[in-house]
Amino acid sequence: MTQQLSNIRLPSPGKLNLFLHITGRRADGYHQLQTLFQFIELADELTFSFHPYPEIKLVSDLPFSSEENLAYKAALALQQTAQVNQGVTIQLDKKLPIGGGVGGGSSNAATTLLALNQLWQLNWPISQLAELGVTLGADIPIFIHGHAAWAEGIGEKLTPVTPDELWYLLVIPQCHVSTAEIFNHPNLPRSTTPVTFQDFLDNRCHNDCEFLVRNLYPGVDKCFRFLNNLGPVRMTGTGACLFVPFVRHSDAAKAFDELPNGMQGFITKGSNQSMLHRCLQSLSK
């Protein structure tokens, strides 16, 4: 890119794990897994403002410091690795639920790396950004690549796939599930037999974290029991968010109308291409 951009506003979409199997645990403590990532049209929004001095600043309403935020960490890591003397102010408008299993933090980090690759005119290839991203979080590469994928390893070995782009009723229980707590819990299954994409298509996949999360978090279990009356409810990632798939928007809307007062939910569309990448493509034209 030859022209210096000064501002970029980009979406930072969520994802669903359409299933999640844990097949083992490595000596370093990371879990071996299989999962299928698909993006959703629900997204945070980030605005990046370039400045020629090396300060990195994050502005948000989140109840924790900037230094703890993955978007800030991603910007700092890229600045240091690429030896950049420029900086950025990042404005984060948070819409994705925190601790819900929809990948908001990882998505914010990936959006930051892709945006600063343009703002700072680095011209890094996607593969190089993904290599840096995985050092910050195992889910970050899927958001950098921007296509629905079958994932293995610790989540970084990605094979593009095209599952059906369904409508989802996404429900957010009023609790924050700790990913670290779930992955470190002694009752988490860790020896599920590996499967294939055909197994997924034949509905022979599940979420290994679901039973444990439902036992530890009564709010998730209560929502799960209710949604089970509306369709085949599933949990994404380590929770807490639950989703029910529908072929038609009208059916998802009907189910949404049946949610009781106090149960927060959204209707969102599954997408095999990230809306972030669609936006980046339009910027490059």
DSSP-assigned beta bridge partners for residue 264: 172
Q: Which of 28, 57, 73, 139 is catalytic?
A: 139
Closest C-alpha to 137, from 63, 55, 77:
77
Rounded-to-integer distance, Cα 263 and Cα 94, Å: 19
Nearest 5°: phi and psi at 119? -60, -40
- DSSP category for residue 147: B
Closest C-alpha to 193, from 174, 206, 202:
206
Mind giving me the DSSP string for 242-275?
Answer: EEEEESSHHHHHHHHHTPPTT-EEEEEEEESB-H
Rounded-to-integer distance, Cα 173 and Cα 223, Å: 7
Residue 55 Cα distances to 66, 68, 78, 182, angstroms: 13, 16, 13, 36
| Residue 221 designated active-site | no
CB 74 within 8 A of CB 136: yes
Mind giving me the DSSP string for 71-93?
Answer: HHHHHHHHHHHTT---EEEEEEE
Q: Where are the alpha helices (DSSP H) in 66-161?
A: 70-81, 104-119, 126-134, 140-145
| Residue 269 designated active-site | no
Rounded-to-integer distance, Cα 280 and Cα 11, Å: 10
Which residues are known catalytic residues?
15, 139
